[in-house]
Amino acid sequence: MAFWDQLKTKTSEMSEQLSTKTKQFKNKDFANGSMAMCALIAAADGSIDPAERQKTAALIMSNDVLAVFPPAELKEKFDHFCDRLERDYDFGKVEAISAISKLKPKQDQARAVLQIGVIIGGADGTFDEHERLAVREACFAVGIAPTEFDL
């Protein structure tokens, strides 16, 4: 099986797992952490072009797990993290990782945020090294081994 076929299968499995736990994730820290993760993926190469930002926002809105949140709230949070990353990438990255790290005591929610990162990162058919690094750094922030996600 080719790498991309494995990635598609893995992201499909992750989506199914997340869907079963959706209701218990409806809280501010999960919303912030997931939008921070999405913004990190969008900015993984050091910048966010408008088309990439729009495409990531569309993927967020179509994600079943995130459907428990009002779309406008998610967009506001995503835009906040993207704006921070665009203004000052290093500072924005620290803020995004900090938001994700608040889920460290809630390992199931932390894993879900990491899974969202993998799903968003691989949605275009390529999960590049920059995107993998962003998820790997988030793994360290929540104390989960990157090997759980084949990183």
- pLDDT one-digit tens code per residue, 88-133: 999 999 999 999 999 999 999 999 999 999 988 887 778 889 999 9
Q: Is the pTM of this model over 0.75?
A: yes
**pLDDT at residue 27 greater than cutoff 80:** yes
* 1 within some domain: no
Mean pLDDT of 131-144: 96
Task: Confirm whether 105 is domain-assigned.
Answer: yes
Is residue 16 one of the residues assigned to a domain? no
Residue with more model confidence, 120 or 15: 120
Q: How many domains does the chain have?
A: 1
Q: What one-character DSSP code corresponds to residue 128? A: -
For residue 48, give both structure tokens.
């966010």
Range of the domain at 95: 26-63+70-149
Asked if residue 10 belongs to a domain, the reply is: no
Q: How many CA atoms lie within 13 A of 100 on its CB side?
A: 35
Of the two residues 3 and 47, the one the predictor is more confident about is 47
pLDDT value of position 47: 83
Domain of 142, CATH number, reads 1.10.3680
**C-alpha span between 50 and 66 (Å, rounded):** 22
pLDDT in tens, 54-97: 888 888 888 777 888 888 899 999 999 999 999 999 999 999 99
Q: Establish if 14 belongs to a structural domain.
A: no
- Is the residue at 8 inside a domain? no
Say if 3 falls within a structural domain: no
Q: Which whole number is the average pLDDT over 23-42?
A: 88
Assess whether pLDDT exceeds 60 at residue 14: no
Residue 144's alpha-carbon distances to 14, 77, 115, in angstroms, are: 16, 24, 12
Residue 21 located in a structural domain? no
Query: What distance in Å separates the CA atoms of residue 126 and residue 142, rounded to the nearest whole number?
Result: 25
The mean pLDDT of 10-24, rounded to a whole number, is: 57
